[in-house]
Structure 1
Amino acid sequence: MEGSRPLSQSSTAGAATPFWRALPFIIACGGLVAMASFGPRSSMGLFLTPMTEARGWSRETFAFAIAVQNLIWGIGQPFAGAFADRYGTTRVLIAGALLCGGGMMLMAWAPTPLWLHISAGLLFGVGLSASSFSIVLAAYGRIVSPEKRSIAFGIGTAAGSFGQFLFAPLGQALIDVYGWQMALLGLGGLTFILISIFSLPLKGKPTSHPSQFGGRDQTIREALSEAFSHPSYLLLVAGFFVCGFHLAFITVHLPAYIVDKGLDPSWGGWSIALIGLFNVVGSLVAGSLGQRHPKQIMLVAIYLARSAIIVFFVMLPMTPVTLMIFSASMGLLWLATVPPTSGLVAVMFGPRYMGTLFGVVFLSHQIGSFIGVWLGGLLYDTTGSYDVVWWISVGLGVFAAVVHWPIKDQAIERIMPAAE
C-alpha cells in the first residue's frame, strides 16, 4: 500500500487499467461510503422523541449524547486523518464502519443515560471520525488532479447528502413499522456492510514530496506548525465552527421543533430528507463554482444566506409549506460549505497532510456541533422553546461571514529549511 498519484492522468494511460482502479469508479465508491456514514448519523433526530418517551429521559439527556458524539467525532478526526495519511484509507474506514455499526446496535439496548452516552456518543462518534466524508475527501485529494479536486469534493459531499435523503425516510419507516430499537439495529448493520464493501477501492495513502520541503518529507508536526502559523487557516478553523452549530442543532432538534408547532411527526423525516436532497444540488454547485471563483467569497455568501433563511423560518407561521421551503432552501446551503472549505485546505497546503489538516478544521466544526445540539436541549428544557437557539444561529451566521472575508485563496509561501 504505497502512495498513489492522481488518477485523472494515470487512469487514462491505457486500456489495461482495471475498472476498480478507474477514477469514476473510485469516486463513486467514495461517495457511497460518505452516503453510508452520513445518512444514519443524520437520522438520529428521528429517535429523540420515541427513545426519550420510552426511557423516560429528558430531551437534554438525548441531546447531550448526540453532542458527545459530535465532539468525539471532531476530536478523533485529526487522528483518523493522520492514520489514513500514514497507514492508508481503507483500513481506517473499515475500523470506523465497525464502530459506527456497533454504536448504533448498542444504542438500541442502552438502558441508562450512561450507556446511551457510551453507544450513541463515544462509539458512534469515534466511528464517524474514521468513516465520514472527511476521510473520503482526503482520499480524493491524493487521487484527483488539482484542477478537478473541487468538483470531486462536491461529488463526495453531495453523496453524503444523498445518504441523508435516503436514510431519513428509511429510518422513519423502520421506526413506524418495527419500532425504534429494531430500526437502530437495522441501520447499524447496513452501515457496517456498506462502508466495509465500498471502502476497498479507496486503498492507498499520500506519497511524500521531498522537493517541496527542502529535499525531505515534511513531518506531521511541521505541517501542523506551519498551518497554525497561517492566518487564513486559523480563520477557516474559526468559521467552520458555525457550520457545525447550524447543522447539528437543526438535524437533531428540527423534528421535535415541528411537532411542538403542531405538525405530524412524519414531517420531521421528510424535512431532513428534503434538506439532504437539495444539498445534493448545493454541494455539486459549490464544487463546480469552487473551480472558478474565490472560495472564501462563496463561504461569506453561504453563511449570510443561512442567517436570512432562519430569520424568515422563525418569523413565519409553521405550516407544511413553510417547512418544505425552509428545508429546501437550507438544503442548498447545508454542506455547500465543505467543498470550498476542504478546497482551501488543499490549495493552501497541498494533499500530503490534507487528512490531518482538514481533520483539525473539522474538529472546530464538531465543537460547534456539540454546543448546538446540547444547547438546544438545555435551553428547551429551561425555557420550553427553541427560539433563543434559532436567534443565536442567526448571529453566528453573520459572524462566520465576517471571519471568512479576509481568507486568501492561494498556496502558502513555504520557506525551505536550510540544507544540512
Structure 2
Amino acid sequence: MKPSLRPSLPLLLAAAVMLSLAMGLRQSLGLFMAPATRDLGIAVAEFTFAIAVQNLGWGLLQPFAGAAASRWGFRPVLLAGVLSYLAGLAVMALAQGGFSLLVGAGLLIGIGLACTGSGMALAVAARPVPAALRSSALGIVSAAGSVGALLAAPIGQVLAEGWGWRAGVWGFLLLGLAMIPAAWIAGRVDRVPIPALAPGESPRMAVALGRAMSHTPFLVMAGAYFVCGLQLVFLTTHLPSYLALCEQDPMLSAKALGMIGGFNVLGSLFFGWAGGRWNKGALLGGIYLVRSLVLGLYFAWAPTEASTMVFAAIMGFLWLGVAPLVSGLVVEMFGLRFQAMIQGLAFMSHQFGSFLGAFGGGVLFDLNGDYVLAWKLGVGMGLVAGAVQVAYALRGAAPPAAERPAAA
C-alpha cells in the first residue's frame, strides 16, 4: 500500500498552528523596539539584550524540553510552554523598564519557545508519518508554521501605529491564545508508538547523548547552525531599526517581515521535498552560502523599498528551509526515540548564535552608530560555515551503524 499522510493530518495541522504562532509572534517583536525604547527610556542594547536572553534561554532549555517529552510525553510540555509564552507577552505589555522587559520578552517567552518552537513541533511531526514521507511532512509543517509572520507582523504594526506598542503586544497575546488547543491536539502524538530499538541501540538518554556529542557530522551541522541563528535573529531584531535609520517608511519593515514569512512557506516545502531526494547536509551548506551572499549584497548599498522586498523574498525562501533538513538529518543519524532531545542540542548551538546576533548587533550599533561591522561579520561567518558544511557533507560520512535501522 502506498504510504499516506492522511492518518496523521490532525497532528500535523495542530503542530503547524502551534509553530506558526510561536514563531510568527516571536519574529515580529523587533517591530516594537524603536517605540518601546523611547517609551521606557532604555537603550537599544537593553531591548536587544532581552531578545538575546530569549534566544539563549530557548536554546539552553530545548534539550531539557525534549528530554522531558521523551520521559513524560509531549502534551504536558507543550501546554506548559504555551502558558509561559502567553505570560511573557502579558509581562512585556505591562513592562515599566528594562528588567520587566527582560523577564517578559526574554525569560518567559524563551521558556515558551523551548517547549513550542520548531524543535518540538517537528519532533511531533516526525513520529506519526511513514519514513518515506517524513522529509516532506517536516517541510509541510515548517511551511505552515511560516504563516504566523504573515499574520502577526502587519497586525502588530497597525496596532502599534494606531494605539501604541503595548496595544501591539496585547494583540499578539490574543493571537497566541490559539496555541492552547493546538498544543492539546498535537499532544495526541504520545499515543503513537515509537519504533523498536535497533540492534546495538540503547534506551538510555545518557548513551544517546554521548553518541551525539562524539559524532563528527552532527557536530559540524551544529556548528554551522550557530551561524544560521546569528544571521536570522540579527535580521528579525535589527532590520526594522536599520530601515528606520535609512529613513524608510515604517511599514516597510512589517512588509519585509511578512514577505519573509510568505516565502518561508515555499522554501520549507521545497527543501522538505529536496531533503528526501538529495544530500541534506550539502543542501544545508548551500543555503548558508547563498544566504550570506544575499545579505552582503543587500547591506552593501542603501536600501530601497524594491531592494528590501526582493531581499526579504530570497531570505524567506532560505529561512526555515533549514528546519526540515536538520530534523531529517537528526532522525537519519540517531532515530526517533530521542530526536527531540538531540535536535535540541543542535538548536542550543543555533540559539547561542541567535544571542550573539541580537545582543552583539545592538552593542555594535551603540558603539558605532551603524550596522556596517555587524553585517560584515555575519556575512563572513556565514560563508565559512556554509563552505565547511558542504565540504563535510560531500565526504559522504554515514550515520552511526547502530542508529541507521532506527531511522527506517
TM-score range, shorter chain: over 0.9
Cα distance change, pair 8–103 in 1 and its aligned pair in 2 (3 A): farther
The question of whether the paired residues in 1 share the 8 Å contact of 2:20 and 2:145 is answered with: yes
Deviations 1:208-258 (Å, cap 9, x if unpaired)? 5554154x8521111000111111011111010011001100001001101
- Using the TM superposition, name which of 179-188 and 202-211 deviates more: 202-211
Contact 1:142 1:352 in 2 (8 A): no
> Matched residues in 1 for 2:11 and 2:403: separation?
35
Q: Does 1:241 align with 2:229?
A: no
User: Contact conserved, 1:296 with 1:409, CA < 8 A, in 2?
Assistant: no
Question: Counterparts in 2 of 1:6-405, with a 5 A limit?
Answer: 22-191=7-176, 193-202=177-186, 203-205=188-190, 207=193, 209=195, 211-214=197-200, 218-405=203-390
Letter matched to residue 132 of structure 1: G
Report the 3-state secondary structure (helix = DSSP H, G, I; strand = E; otherwise coil) of the residue aligned with 1:247. Answer: helix
Q: C-alpha separation between the residues in 2 aligned to 1:68 and 1:200?
A: 27
- What SS does the aligned partner of 2:146 have? helix
Q: Contact (CA 8 Å) 1:80, 1:129: kept in 2 or not?
A: yes
Instruction: Name the CA distance, whole Å, in 2 between partners of 1:259 and 1:327.
Output: 16
Which AA in structure 2 matches 1:414? A
Answer yes or no: is the 8 Å Cα contact 1:294–1:409 preserved in 2.
no
Structure 1, residues 279-322: CA drift from partner, whole Å, max 9, x if none? Answer: 11011100000010101111121111011101210122311011
In 2, Cα distance between equivalents of 1:300 and 1:132: 23
Q: Could you tell me how far apart the structure 2 residues matched to 1:409 and 1:88 are? A: 33
CA distance in 1, matches of 2:209, 2:284: 23
Amino acid at match of 1:31: A
Q: Which runs of 5+ in 1 are unaligned?
A: 1-6, 13-21
Q: Deviations over 1:11-68 (max 9, x none)?
A: 87xxxxxxxxx31222112111111111110111001001001111110010000000
Find the aligned partners of 2:15 and 2:347 in 1 and give their Cα distance: 18
- Is the contact made by 2:40 and 2:98 (CA closer than 8 Å) also made in structure 1? no
**Cα deviations by residue, 1:83-121 (Å, 9 ceiling, x for unpaired):** 112222222111111000110110111112111111111
CA contact (8 A) 2:11 2:189 kept: no
Map of 1:414 onto structure 2: 402
Q: Give the Cα–Cα distance (whole angstroms) in 2 for the partners of residues 207 and 356 of structure 1.
A: 17
**Greater shift in the superposed pair: 30-39 or 205-214:** 205-214
- 4+ aligned runs moved over 6 Å, structure 1: none
Query: 1:403: Cα distance to partner?
Result: 2.6
Q: Is contact 1:348–1:409 with CA below 8 Å preserved after alignment?
A: no
C-alpha separation in 1, matches of 2:326 and 2:12: 19
After superposition, the Cα gap between the structure-2 partners of 1:80 and 1:320, relative to the gap in structure 1 and judged at 3 Å, is same
CA distance in 2, matches of 1:208, 1:146: 13
Shift of 1:204: 3.3
Residue in 2 that maps onto 1:3: none
- Do 1:66 and 1:120's aligned partners in 2 also have CA atoms closer than 8 Å? yes
Answer yes or no: is the 8 Å Cα contact 1:244–1:365 preserved in 2.
yes
Q: Cα deviations across residues 348-380 of structure 1 (Å, max 9, x unaligned)?
A: 111110000000000101000000000110000
Q: How much does 1:8 deviate?
A: 5.6
Whole-angstrom CA distance in 2 between matches of 1:367 and 1:269 = 26
Shift of 1:207: 4.2
Aligned-residue offset at 1:415: 8.7
Cα 1:283–1:63 change in 2 (3 A) is: same
Alignment partners' CA distance in 1, 2:206 and 2:199: 13
* 8 A Cα contact 1:65 1:117, kept in partner: yes
Task: Name the SS for the 1:324 alignment partner.
Answer: helix
CA–CA distance in 2 between the matches of 1:355 and 1:318? 40
Identity of paired residues, percent? Answer: 37
Q: Which amino acid aligns with 1:293?
A: W
SS in 2 for 1:204: helix
Q: Provide the rounded CA distance (Å) in 1 between the counterparts of 2:227 and 2:403.
A: 32
Give the letter aligned to residue 15 of structure 2: G
Cα RMSD over matched residues?
Answer: 1.9
Greater mean deviation of Cα atoms: 142-151 or 199-208: 199-208
Q: TM-score, normalised by structure 2?
A: 0.94
